[in-house]
């Protein structure tokens, strides 16, 4: 039976995996697409654990590749539900790598996945609320609210039927772009 509120700690997940040559790109670094695939898996597990339902990825925001990951490094991904809406959750993910010989640790990636809980007939279902038990959890929740507001504003502004590029020509002058229409 689903509870009406759950602490973030109940659905936190951490996974670790050794990076192999088969995960690398043509430059000998771990392929970003492979890391994104792992991040999507941990976001799914974290959101499903919180919602007690199957979850789908609705969006991925602010994927920041901060440092390359080398073959032979151990990556650890940590995920937590940072925000809940009615049927959706924002899962924050942090990726660190560790050189298992030297012990050097790098923060490699952070991202936010919006996940939606679904039932057996693919309808969105209500998710439990979130109990915030620390300053960090409150900060993460508030940051997620700001990310959502920014996304809504961006979508509204640039998807609006009244959008006119002429209103933005002065902004475009600062970039390496040529507008011809």
List, in order of start, the domains of the chain with CATH numbers: 5-172 (3.10.129.10)
79 exposure class (CB count in 10 Å sphere: 0-12, 13-18, 19+): buried
| Prediction pTM value | 0.89
Q: List strands edge to edge, sheet with 105-118.
A: 13-18, 74-84, 88-98, 105-118, 54-65
Tokens of 69: 């990951």
Length of the chain (residues): 181
Q: Shortest CA distance to 11 belongs to which of 90, 79, 86, 83?
A: 79
pLDDT string in tens for the chain (181-residue length): 466 999 999 999 999 999 999 999 999 999 999 999 999 999 999 999 999 999 999 999 988 899 999 999 999 999 999 999 999 999 999 999 999 999 999 999 999 999 999 999 999 999 999 999 999 999 999 999 999 999 888 888 787 777 888 888 999 999 999 988 8
């Amino acid at each position: 039976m689903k509870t009406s509120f759950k602490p973030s700690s109940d659905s936190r997940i951490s996974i670790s995996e050794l990076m192999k040559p088969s995960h690398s790109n043509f430059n000998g670094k771990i392929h970003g697409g492979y890391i994104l695939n792992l991040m999507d898996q941990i976001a799914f597990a974290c959101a499903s654990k919180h919602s007690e339902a199957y979850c789908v990825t609705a969006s991925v925001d602010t994927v920041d590749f901060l440092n390359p990951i080398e073959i032979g490094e151990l990556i650890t991904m940590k995920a937590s539900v940072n925000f809940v809406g009615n049927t959706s959750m924002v899962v924050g993910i942090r990726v660190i790598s560790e050189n298992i010989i030297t012990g050097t640790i790098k923060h490699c990636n952070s991202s936010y996945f919006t996940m939606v809980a679904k039932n057996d007939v693919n309808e969105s279902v209500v998710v439990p609320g979130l109990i915030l038990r620390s300053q960090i959890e409150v900060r993460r929740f508030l940051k997620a609210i700001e990310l959502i507001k920014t996304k809504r504003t961006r979508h509204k502004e640039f998807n609006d039927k009244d959008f006119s590029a002429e209103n933005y020509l002065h902004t475009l002058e600062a970039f390496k772009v040529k507008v011809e229409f």
